[in-house]
């Protein structure tokens, strides 16, 4: 499975339609402070179903919609589309290419799409279940998280490592089994 491209319209600082291609291998995004690097990472988290405005550095979800600048009026909608090459079927679906989209209007109306067909949030989150890349996973680490991980207590850091290594869920199964 590979991230192919992301299209961002009206999300945070990206007022104009912006298409970013990921050609394979490792991609670095560089730019001055405040140029929108973290906004790109957040757009990926958002389209994959992030439900917390706070995790996206906002207080309400419509805060992700372009709010205007000195020479530009605000917009009424944010839309992000992520294209994944799934020809290895790492994500358990028959689709070779997956196109996930999320749209949000200022009045709070929001919709999700899977390969251009409207779907539920659950359809998106189910795709990533047990892949280690879904909502709340540690595959996308934000700037603040790095510090949080460094400064966390050793026990908390251990549980982060166990989570990444996939040990955590077996520990949970064990605790549940012991209670039964």
Enumerate binding residues for Mg ion (CB under 5 A).
37-38, 143
Is residue 32 marked as binding? yes
**Binding of ligand ATP at residue 79 (CB under 6 A)?**
no
Closest distance to ligand ATP from the beta carbon of 10 (Å): 9
Tell me the C-alpha distance between 10 and 120, whole Å.
Answer: 22
Q: How far apart are CA 81 and CA 107, in angstroms?
A: 20
CB 3 within 8 A of CB 84: yes
Q: Which two tokens stand for residue 27?
A: 């991609």
- Of these, 7, 8, 12, 46, which contacts ligand ATP (CB under 6 A)? 12
What are residue 111's DSSP bridge partners?
103
Cα 42 to Cα 55: distance, rounded to the nearest angstrom? 9
When the beta carbons of 143 and 152 are compared against ligand ATP, the nearer one is 143
In the set 2, 38, 159, 163, which binds ligand ATP (CB under 6 A)?
Answer: 38
Task: Tell me: does residue 111 bind ligand ATP (CB under 6 A).
Answer: no
Number of Cβ within 10 Å of residue 131's Cβ equals 13
According to the binding rule CB under 6 A, does residue 33 interact with ligand ATP?
yes
Give binding residues for ATP as ranges. 32-39
């Amino acid at each position: 499975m590979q991230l192919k491209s992301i299209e961002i319209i009206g999300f945070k600082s990206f007022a104009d339609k912006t298409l970013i291609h990921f050609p394979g291998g490792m991609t670095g995004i560089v730019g001055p402070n405040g140029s929108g690097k973290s906004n790109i990472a957040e757009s990926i988290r958002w389209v994959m179903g992030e439900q917390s405005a706070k995790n996206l550095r906002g207080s309400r979800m419509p805060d992700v919609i372009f709010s205007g600048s000195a020479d530009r009026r605000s917009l009424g909608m944010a839309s992000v589309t992520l294209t994944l090459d799934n020809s290895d079927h790492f994500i358990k679906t028959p689709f070779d290419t997956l196109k996930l989209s999320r749209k949000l209007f200022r009045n709070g109306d929001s919709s999700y799409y899977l390969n251009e067909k409207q779907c539920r949030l659950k359809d998106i989150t189910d795709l990533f279940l047990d892949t280690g890349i879904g909502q709340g996973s540690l595959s996308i680490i934000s700037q603040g998280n790095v510090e949080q991980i460094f400064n966390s207590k050793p026990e908390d850091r251990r549980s982060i490592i166990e989570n990444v290594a996939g040990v955590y869920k077996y520990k949970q199964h064990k605790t549940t089994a012991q209670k039964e």
